[in-house]
Amino acid sequence: MVTPFDDEGAFSPDAAAELAAWLVDTQKNEGLVLAGTTGESPTLTHDEQGDLFRAVRSAVDVPIVAGTGSNDTAAAVDLTKRAIAAGVDGVLVVTPYYNRPSQAALVDHFTAVAEAADELPMLIYDIPVRTGRKVSTEALLTLAHDVGNIIGIKDAAGDAAETAMLLSQAPDGFEIYSGDDGMTLPFLSIGAVGAIGVATHWTGVEHLEMFEAFAAGDVVRARELNAQMLPSFGFESMDAAPNPIPTKALLRMLGHKVGYGRPPMHIEPPALEAAARAVLEGSGLAVEALLP
């Protein structure tokens, strides 16, 4: 979920609660992830993240997963403790970025955060395009087998074959969530259980139908729905407007008070909202009916 800001760039708890309720009630999202990449976590203070967790916890009764990762292990531990105090249901912990620790150090880092989470379920977030370091399959398997509350991964590494290898050797119940909207359908084919998405802000209804069609063996219908959403997947992040800039533009167009991104994620290319409208008009998506 994006993190809403007001006109002065301050976090808006009321807008966060309203958006969360809309994502669940109208878009049929079965859970919400807060303070991830799309939530601009690098620009949020720890206090703001705690406020975000509490605001959304008070607004919805679906599972809430809190992004509590950092490139500083102590900071990730602190954020995880704050998330527990806010009443979340699980944590999402990204690979430490910029400092690029070794695989052995990654195992230590994720283990330390999992211990801070106590018995709260934890997902590892593997997104090497943003972190500069892929978590190796060997390291992931070590964590999956040795740390009881590490129960899955948000996979944005883009290698379905390697993910299939991971799942084949992981313990029973280890969960794969697609972290790249364009890879969700391929990941379902190898055993993923769902998606932690971006376009799911406005394609939640279609995602749910795609998951249900695939589970029922109707691969043709699942492919049709995936194709219908491809323009949204292309729009959600681009070189001139990286995620979450396009999502905030589209949500503003739909009337949500999410504001703009914080620097350095604040510059929008010209006519981005017009591009958002073009993505939706004639798309056949359920949210098209909500266009003003």
Q: At what angle do helices 272-280 and 245-253 cross, to 10 degrees?
A: 70
- Distance in angstroms (rounded) separating the CA atoms of residues 289 and 292: 8
Strand order through the sheet with 194-195: 32-34, 64-67, 90-94, 122-126, 150-155, 175-178, 194-195
N- to C-terminal Cα distance for the chain?
22
Residue from 134, 154, 177, 248 carrying the catalytic annotation: 154
> What pairing do the DSSP bridges indicate for beta strands 122-126 and 64-67?
unpaired
Residue type, 132: G
- Distance in angstroms (rounded) separating the CA atoms of residues 229 and 233: 6
**Which phi and psi angles does 9 have, rounded to 5°?**
85, 10
Degrees (nearest 5) of the Cα angle 257, 129, 65? 50
Is-cis flag, bond preceding 264, omega within 30?
Answer: yes
Is-cis flag, bond preceding 269, omega within 30?
Answer: no
**Which phi and psi angles does 241 have, rounded to 5°?**
-150, 80
Residue from 28, 81, 97, 125 carrying the catalytic annotation: 125
Tell me whether residue 154 is one of the annotated catalytic residues: yes
Tell me whether residue 125 is one of the annotated catalytic residues: yes
Ramachandran bin of 47, using left for φ above 0, alpha for ψ from -120 to 50, beta for the remaining angles: alpha
Active site residues: 125, 154
